A and B are shown apart, each in its own frame.
Chain A
Amino acid sequence: MRTTDLLFSALYLGVLLIAFGQMAGLNENSGAVYTSAKLYPTLVLGIGLLVGVIETTRTLLTKLPADAPTFSVVWQHAFGPRRMLLLGLFVVYLLAIKPVGFLVATFVFCFATTAALAPVRGPRLFLIAGVVALSTLAVIYLLLVVYLEAFLP
């Protein structure tokens, strides 16, 4: 877990440093006499960086518990095939909404994800996946378009 913690701290410090650099470009001009456009952001990012340094130091100095999961265990779990499959399908779905249209993209995503995530595949699964996808579309259409008179993506 220590490597994950250190990676997180490094990413955190990196992002906050970039943000801190961006703040340098701000002008001091402000309507208020005692405050400026820079004051609060500098305070937040400055203390945030300090907290990041404290946590990094703490992680480096603290003894690792014997039962702590190793880096490879944590990351294998985090990037497990089912999780990544779902994430990948979802990203593709969001990107496909504009070119393909919401109704088609949603039906395909719902059907494909249900089928892909299922531990055992067979005709019954595909039938249920189709029914679930159609029912979801029907509920969304009725709720959003008919009842709330809103737009679909």
Chain B
Amino acid sequence: MYDQILVGISHVFQPWTLLAVMCGVAGGLVIGSIPGLTSTMAIALLVPLTYAMEIEFALPLLMGVYCGAISGGLVGAVLLNIPGTPASAGTCLDGYPMAAKGQATRALGLAVYSSMIGGTISGLALVLIAPLLAKVAMSFGPWEYFALVVFTFTCISAMSAKGRAVKAFMAAFIGLALALVGLDEASGQTRLTFGFTSFQAGFYELPALIGLYAIPQLLADTDDIGRKGKVLKIQYDLRIFMSTFREVVSRWWDLVRSSLIGIVIGILPGVGPGLSNIVAYSQAKHASRTPEKFGKGELAESVMSPEAANNASMGGALIPMLTLGIPGDASTLMMLGAFMLHGIDPGPLLFRDHGDIVWIVFIAFFVAFAFCAILYHFFIPLTVKAISVPRQYVIPVLLILCTVGCYALNNRMFDVYCFLGFGLLGYLLHIAKVPVLPVILGLILGPMAEEQLSLALAFGQGSLAPFFLRPISGAILMVALLSLVLPPILGRLRSKADIEPA
């Protein structure tokens, strides 16, 4: 293992790679700070352009963008009361009131340092948990993998907004159906191609990913054109900013609790920083001796908790992606696309066959956070300007970059048209308020589910019993079933309990 660590270090600590990580972080900070542009969008823009790069260079660059973009959302949350990314929604609740009281630098300092510490704790969790989970996953057979795919979809459904759980399942089946398109290698027959030869190779994941995320989001972003958000004025003082570090460290218990929440939520498939920051905020309020002061911009922990949690989710989300090939959230889904683009399939075998690549990811994660911490000291004024860039200049440029990126993958216009087609599908889902993530997961996990089901049936001589009798597979399916059944039952019990005392 030590030789792999050294190989990882030697790759990441190359001058050009370090520069790439720094540029990635800087770009991510700027994109993440613009409300409406998420980390997923930032990675989506970059992934196709990394196809010509060596993976040892591309992965640190993408890690830089990932860390920068998630962290960048806090500036808009604090100064504009609009989170740059959903990951910073909880930060608005106290960050903006604190900034409105003339303590903008303090609010930003608290948010930045807690983000960096939360991210670093999650990096440690990633390094400690991922190799262990990969070892456990080495013993997984097709039954366990198929059960994991089922669990992923039930988990997304359970985490969906109220009344949207079945819709999340429908979205997953749209993705699974789209994954059927193309040539079935086992039988040599084409499926759902409707006579079009272009469909025989199936859909390439990246144009689909980018289209489903970018086009609906950019169309919706046009609503913000002409709207003038009230950006709070800030007299940035580096000394005040740095002095908040002590305040953050003195609240170490809040940091640890929020980071753990972030890591656990990050590990769950389909949810990530967007949920963890809200949960961490409510838990901090619950644990506080002065919960009445939450929402007033007085307490440090009310700003720190959501930021520590959202960054901690990043390491958590990378754990299932690297060890099982199942992404924790939309951004890691894009990272999964980057791995696939370079011909590497994440999963337990990644740790055995490409241990150096895994360590490049681990080390780049820490380096990206280090750069993020350093750059934030000087980038606050720039990110403040970035949040006020008029959308009409940004939207067409991003659409063009997405188009170029999709074309550059295979040098064919078919991918560009797929990008548009999936974008229109994404917009339809957006109108119907159907989550997009299950569609993409269905598209990516569909072939894996088919392969594992075929293998499981072949090994089990057609029997379904091993799915339930093998301990890990049975346990995963049991948890999947509980995640489906428990939320409605608990919801009903809670609403009954609310009525009865009255």
Give the interface of A toward B (CB within 8 A): 1, 4-5, 7-9, 11-12, 15-16, 19, 22-23, 26-27, 29-37, 39-41, 43-45, 47-48, 51-52, 54-55, 58, 62, 74-75, 78, 80, 82-83, 85-87, 90-91, 93-94, 97-98, 106, 109-110, 113-114, 117-120, 128-129, 132, 136, 140, 143-144, 148-153
Given A35-B454, A82-B223, A82-B225, A41–B397 Cβ distance below 8 Å? Answer: no
- A-B contact count, CB below 8 Å? 189
Q: Which residue of A lies closest to B190 (CB)?
A: A26
Contacting residues of chain B (438-474) with chain A, CB-CB under 8 angstroms: 446, 449-450, 453-454, 457-458, 460-462
Given A119-B226, A144-B404, A153-B416, A44–B173 Cβ distance below 8 Å? Answer: yes
Would you call A27 and B453 a contact (CB within 8 A)? no
In this complex, the member of B176, B222, B427 whose beta carbon has the largest number of chain A beta carbons within 10 angstroms is B222
Chain B hits for A39, CB < 8 A: 453-454, 457
Would you call B189 and A37 a contact (CB within 8 A)? yes
Name B399's contact: one of A12, A74, A90, A97 (CB within 8 Å).
A90
Would you call B225 and A27 a contact (CB within 8 A)? no
Would you call A32 and B186 a contact (CB within 8 A)? yes
Chain A hits for B427, CB < 8 A: 78, 87
In whole angstroms, how far apart are the Cα atoms of A62 and B433 in the complex? 17
Q: Which residue of A lies closest to B429 (CB)?
A: A8
Would you call B458 and A33 a contact (CB within 8 A)? yes
Chain B hits for A153, CB < 8 A: 403-404, 407, 413, 416
B417 at the interface (CB under 8 A from A): yes
Would you call B417 and A94 a contact (CB within 8 A)? yes
Given A48-B177, A98-B413, A83–B187 Cβ distance below 8 Å? Answer: no
Would you call A140 and B225 a contact (CB within 8 A)? no
Chain B hits for A128, CB < 8 A: 393
Q: Which residue of B lies closest to A26 (CB)?
A: B189
Chain A hits for B433, CB < 8 A: 1, 4
Given A83-B222, A87-B219, A117-B395, A58–B166 Cβ distance below 8 Å? Answer: yes
Question: Distance (Å) between the CB of B325 and the closest chain A CB?
Answer: 18
In whole angstroms, how far apart are the Cα atoms of A7 and B167 in the complex? 13
Would you call A110 and B396 a contact (CB within 8 A)? yes
Name B187's contact: one of A1, A30, A51 (CB within 8 Å).
A30
Question: Distance (Å) between the CB of A114 and the closest chain B CB?
Answer: 5
Question: Distance (Å) between the CB of A132 and the closest chain B CB?
Answer: 5
